[in-house]
């Protein structure tokens, strides 16, 4: 159990309202938190995750295997540096707090690298490989730079689970909207910019996204106050990282975070390939991506709050939503190619329940932060957020490099619409509908047997003492 004296050390600087009665949280903080990672930055991520793999092979001219290597190296480094960022963030001491300082430079660096990855250098194949790898690594490191503090600042500012879940839900809705725009209308937007004189429509799109990112991150900096934090001694952040991994309770959460990232990412990242090469209908990409994106929006904005309210916990909501989605993924696997309207219906229903997984697992982040507060009396917000980020990046690695790698080994030919071999066709169908079923099953098992849930009562008692200032 945590030392109750440690709880009494929580700083009491007013941030999000008075601690008496129901916790008060400003609307501005809620919206800036919801739109920081999930607004302009997520719109960039949606465009990059949905179109950059294809852009590398079909526009920059990298071979599928080489493009896969770019994604693998960058994603592995991205995963490794997440815990490093968590330690750095938890050990930060400034007049602005522990996590807030990173919200100032992050959107500027993000915009720079998000533009540079779309530049087609006039180099040979090796030079193009190095350029794309360097820019993609820079982009990933910047994402790490703001993602860890953004996740960590929420439990540092808000202790009420209902309010936390409301903010997470708001962020999920914004995320889904951004993905709707990014994955559905990118080709239309870039074509428009090309038509008015831009040589590469992706770059002005990234610049516009960057403006929105600056507004939301700088707004989050202005409205957030880190209230519920234990003082961190020099070197303690590193110890907290080791301490986190000593708890066996963390491993089901890590696996769940990986599976959620893989299942969510595969749904979007395979869709362009599926339409272009499995259906041999590149003209249907916008429609199909629109179906998925609208479903994702409804999943986050409509169905996720209903699931959380009805099933009470994030774990139960994840389990039920995954079971429903897998039924329709299996149906789409066998029936999707027979009729495009049927494909859209099955995909829509599956996405309405499956897409909430990537947001619902953020509930598990806050739960484990509270768990370490209970057991060890430490505020390891940044460390735990970084572990979640590490797990998410591991999932992203599998999605980003795995798609290209698997297609490469079965004989995928870039730009060969209607000319792919049988093995490639099977792999496209499996990656689109079969793979999310596998991740869903594992995710269900992790949530069903998550040991942190046994401590919910004690955690709530601890947070009640924090709010009352009890020693």
Least confidently predicted of 4-13, 21-30, 241-250: 4-13
For residue 15, what pLDDT is reported? 36
Distances (CA, A) of 350 to 193, 274, 392: 34, 16, 21
Per-residue pLDDT of 373-408, as tens digits, reads 888 888 777 788 788 878 887 887 788 778 878 888
* pLDDT for 381: 77
Residue 429 to residue 432: CA distance in whole angstroms: 5
Give the confidence band of 232 by pLDDT, cuts at 50, 70, 90.
low
How far, in Å, CA of 161 to CA of 105, rounded? 30
Q: Is the pLDDT of residue 14 over 50?
A: no
- Please check whether residue 304 is in contact with residue 167, taking contact to mean a CB–CB distance below 8 angstroms: no
pLDDT value, residue 467: 54
Tell me the mean pLDDT in the region 262-289.
88
Say yes or no to pLDDT of 6 above 80. no
What band does 62 get if pLDDT is binned at 50, 70 and 90?
A: confident
Domain boundaries, the chain: 29-224+246-463
Is the pLDDT at 356 greater than 70? The verdict is yes
> Does 21 score more than 60 pLDDT?
no
Please check the confidence at residue 74 and state whether its pLDDT lies above 80: yes
- Residue 363: band (very low, low, confident or very high) from pLDDT cuts 50, 70, 90: confident
Count Cβ atoms below 10 Å from residue 456 Cβ, excluding itself. 14
Which is nearest to 85 in space by CA: 74, 70, 99, 105? 99
Measure the CA dihedral 376/380/381/382, to 10°. -170
Q: Is 35 exposed, middle or buried (0-12, 13-18, 19+ CB in 10 A)?
A: buried
Q: How far apart are CA 467 and CA 460, in angstroms?
A: 11
Mean pLDDT of 435-443: 94
Q: Please tell me the predicted confidence (pLDDT) of residue 166.
A: 86
Give the span between the Cα atoms of 114 and 210, in whole angstroms. Answer: 9
Q: How confident is the model at residue 328 (pLDDT cuts 50, 70, 90)?
A: very high
pLDDT at 22: 66
Q: Is 11 a residue whose pLDDT tops 60?
A: no
**Whether residue 20 has pLDDT greater than 50:** no
What is the average per-residue pLDDT within 186-195?
90
Q: Render pLDDT for 26-53 as a digit per residue (tens, 0 to 9).
A: 889 999 999 998 899 999 988 987 788 8
Nearest CA among 412, 436, 467, 432 for reference residue 57: 412
- pLDDT value, residue 49: 79
**435-347-181 Cα angle (round to 5):** 100
Q: Band of the pLDDT at 17, cuts 50, 70, 90?
A: very low
- What is the C-alpha separation between 379 and 231, in angstroms, rounded? 8
Looking at per-residue pLDDT, the higher value among 180 and 3 belongs to 180
Average pLDDT value for the chain: 85
Handedness of CA 143, 147, 148, 153 (dihedral sign): positive
Q: How far apart are CA 29 and CA 21, in angstroms?
A: 19
Question: At residue 10, does pLDDT exceed 60?
Answer: no
Dist. CA 371–CA 236, nearest whole Å:
18
Do residues 356 and 303 lie in contact, with contact meaning Cβ atoms separated by under 8 Å? yes
Q: What is the pLDDT of residue 123?
A: 87
Pick 29-224+246-463's CATH classification: 1.10.3720.10, 3.40.190.10, 1.20.1250.20, 3.30.460.20.
1.20.1250.20
- Which one is predicted more confidently, 77 or 350? 350
Out of 39-43, 176-180, 423-427, least confident range: 176-180
Q: Which residues contact 216 (CB under 8 A, 6 or more apart)?
A: 32, 35, 36, 39, 40, 41, 107
Q: Mean pLDDT, to the nearest integer, of 290-297?
A: 86
pLDDT at 1 over 60: no
pLDDT above 70 covers a percentage of the chain that reads 93
């Amino acid at each position: 159990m945590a030392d109750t004296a440690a709880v009494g050390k929580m700083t009491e600087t007013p941030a999000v309202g008075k601690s008496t009665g129901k916790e008060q949280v400003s609307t501005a903080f809620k919206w800036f938190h919801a739109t920081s990672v999930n607004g302009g930055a997520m719109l960039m991520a949606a465009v990059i995750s949905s179109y950059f793999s294809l852009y590398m092979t079909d526009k920059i001219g990298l071979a599928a295997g080489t493009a896969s290597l770019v994604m693998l190296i960058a994603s592995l480094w991205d995963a490794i540096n997440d815990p490093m960022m968590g330690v750095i963030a938890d050990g930060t001491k400034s007049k602005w707090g522990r996590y807030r300082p990173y919200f100032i430079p992050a959107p500027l660096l993000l915009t720079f690298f998000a533009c540079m990855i779309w530049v087609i250098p006039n180099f040979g194949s090796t030079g193009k490989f190095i350029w794309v790898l360097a820019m993609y690594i820079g982009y990933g490191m910047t994402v790490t730079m703001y993602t860890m503090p953004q996740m960590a600042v929420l439990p540092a500012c808000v202790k009420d689970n209902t309010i936390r879940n409301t903010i997470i839900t708001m962020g999920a809705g914004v995320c889904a909207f951004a993905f709707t725009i990014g994955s559905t209308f990118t080709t239309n937007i870039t074509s428009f910019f090309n038509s008015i004189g831009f040589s590469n429509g992706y770059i002005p799109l990234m610049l516009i996204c960057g403006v929105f990112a600056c507004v939301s991150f700088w707004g989050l900096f202005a409205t957030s106050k880190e209230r519920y934090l234990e003082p961190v001694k020099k070197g303690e952040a590193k110890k907290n990282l080791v301490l986190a991994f000593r708890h066996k309770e963390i491993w089901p959460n890590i696996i769940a975070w990986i599976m959620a990232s893989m299942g969510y990412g595969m749904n979007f990242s395979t869709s362009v390939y599926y339409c272009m090469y499995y259906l041999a209908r590149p003209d249907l990409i916008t429609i199909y991506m629109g179906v998925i994106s609208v479903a994702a929006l409804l999943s986050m904005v409509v169905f996720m709050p209903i699931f959380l309210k009805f099933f009470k916990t994030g774990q139960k909501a994840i389990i039920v939503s995954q079971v429903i989605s897998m039924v329709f993924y299996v149906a789409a696997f066998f029936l999707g190619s027979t009729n495009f309207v049927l494909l859209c219906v099955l995909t829509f229903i599956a996405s309405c329940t499956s897409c909430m997984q990537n947001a619902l697992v953020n509930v598990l982040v806050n739960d484990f932060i509270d768990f370490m507060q209970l057991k060890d009396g430490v505020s390891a917000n940044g460390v735990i957020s970084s572990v979640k980020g590490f797990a998410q990046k591991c999932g992203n690695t599998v999605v980003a490099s795995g798609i290209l790698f698997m297609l490469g080994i079965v004989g995928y030919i870039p730009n060969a619409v209607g000319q792919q071999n049988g093995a490639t066709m099977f792999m496209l169908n499996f990656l689109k509908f079969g793979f999310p079923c596998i991740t869903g099953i594992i995710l269900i098992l992790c949530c069903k047997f998550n040991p942190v849930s046994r401590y919910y009562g004690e955690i709530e008692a601890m947070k009640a003492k924090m709010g009352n200032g009890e020693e």
